[in-house]
Amino acid sequence: MTDSPDNLRELDKRHFWHPFTQMREWTAPDHDPLVIASGEGAILRDLEGREYLDGNSSIWTNIHGHNHPAINRAIRDQLERIAHCSALGSTNEPAILLAARLAGLFPPDSLSRCFFSDDGSTAMECAMKMAIQYWQLKGCPGRCEFFAFSRAYHGDTLGAASLGAISSFHSRFAGLGVKTHHVSTLAELSTLDASATRNIAAVAIEPLVQGAAGIRLWPEGTLRELRAWCDCHGVFLLFDEVMTGFGRTGTMFACEQENVVPDMIALAKGLTGGYLPLAATLVTEEIYETFLGEVEEGRTFFHGHSYSGNALGCAAALASLALFEEENTLPRLAPRIEHLRQLLGNLVRENAYVSECRQAGFIAGIDLVDADGQPFAWTEQRGHRVCLAARRHGLLTRPVQDTVVLMPPLCTTEAQLDSALEAIDRAILEVCTP
């Protein structure tokens, strides 16, 4: 790093437009942007050398920790050969092996075909366009609409955003993308008759837990019932495991916990261990085969991205998947999931400003309320302020409104969990005590 911290911060404020950020607040004279300079395991270090626990896995991406020697080595080895070549008209070893490896993570002959893209949003776009084209190829062009759930989040590109239903993110662009009907519960779906489902290509859901909605858990059995409903109505089931995939909920994929296999699945965030942008949409052989034909039949899936099957990203993903076996990641995670459960139980019992904690594996949502147990006015930004206060106690994370989210890398130790919960407890008391 050659630039001085002050100069970097000034350049940031002058030129860098940050995502999901009110830039007037960000560029205010009294705001010092946090500049992360390095990381190791679950720890991030800023330019001044201060250390923080990465309490949201760098926006839900990191799996085995930062600067992991095995993933670093895999990327470096690949870099010595080639960083990228096109998947249009050629192919490459890491992408081939990764496609096979991902298919092998699902039951035999289920999700056997892998289409690469760049991030969670594009993985969802691919799935949606595949579903729409599938039904066209089957002679049902009217099946081009979707069902999704209230408070869903499936990404920010226009197609993926049409599936979303979080008003602050989505209402501004509502109606501009793919036609989507939102339902709040399975019961609501079951009341619909054939006329309401005739035009539906697929149902999209975040399995087990809706992340951006504020860590909202589905009732047990939801995925099984939804699978049965989709089979009954001849509609595709599309799982968005962009956040839940790769061990976050305690199993490799959340859908394993209900033994349900979808027709299509979107994977991104943790795919490369949180190192590089890479995504995959996996579908059944039946969907894939529907696109086969002579060139002049026009069945080809005309969709792709410049960096599809990027060799560096695929090498990182292969290394991350290998680590699950080499480091025995999931069996070793189980006791720490229990430890987190105890810590959250203590927090909700002992902190008067915490009304509820929800947990799915290594994902937690902590709801804030005032001394009377009532929600704070959203304009007070209590969740945001609690996260800023937690930073002073060595924890970095972000809220969803007044839900503090804790989703650290899977390598986070029991002692680090203890410190994280202590930081959150103290931060809440500082911010919420009148």
Interface positions with ligand PLP (CB under 6 A): 60, 119-121, 153-155, 206, 211-212, 240, 242-243, 268-269
> In terms of CB distance, is 176 or 194 closer to ligand PLP?
176
Q: What is the nearest approach in angstroms of ligand PLP to the Cβ of residue 232?
A: 25
212 vs 411 by CB, closer to ligand PLP? 212
Cβ nearer to ligand PLP, comparing 143 with 154: 154
Three-state SS at 256: helix
Cβ atoms of 337 and 88 closer than 8 Å: no
If the CB atoms of residues 156 and 422 are measured against ligand PLP, the closer one turns out to be 156
Residue of this chain nearest to ligand PLP (CB atom): 120
The C-alpha atoms of residue 203 and residue 195 are separated, in whole angstroms, by 16
Instruction: Identify the three-state secondary structure at position 399.
Output: strand
Q: Which is nearer to ligand PLP, 68 or 154 (CB)?
A: 154
Q: How far is the CB of 155 from ligand PLP (least distance, A)?
A: 4
Q: Which CB sits closer to ligand PLP, 212 or 357? A: 212
Say if residues 335 and 114 touch (Cβ distance below 8 Å): no
Least CB distance from residue 104 to ligand PLP, whole Å? 23
319 three-state secondary structure:
helix
Could you tell me how far CA 345 lies from the centroid of its own chain?
A: 25
DSSP letter for each residue of 363-389 = EEEEEE--TTSPPPPGGG-HHHHHHHH
Q: Work out how close the CB of 266 gets to ligand PLP at its nearest, in angstroms, rounded to a whole number.
A: 7
- For 56, 66, 77, 195, the CA distances from 253, given in Å and listed in that order, are 18, 21, 28, 33
Query: DSSP state, 27?
Result: T
d(CA 206, CA 193): 24
Instruction: State in angstroms the smallest separation of the CB of 244 from ligand PLP.
Output: 7
Q: Which is nearer to ligand PLP, 53 or 212 (CB)?
A: 212
Contacts of 241 (CB under 8 A, 6+ apart): 206, 207, 253, 254, 255, 265, 266, 267
For β-strands 200-205 and 216-217, DSSP reports them as unpaired
Q: Closest distance between ligand PLP and the C-beta of residue 153, in Å? A: 5
Residues in the chain: 434
Least Cβ distance, residue 303 to ligand PLP (angstroms): 16
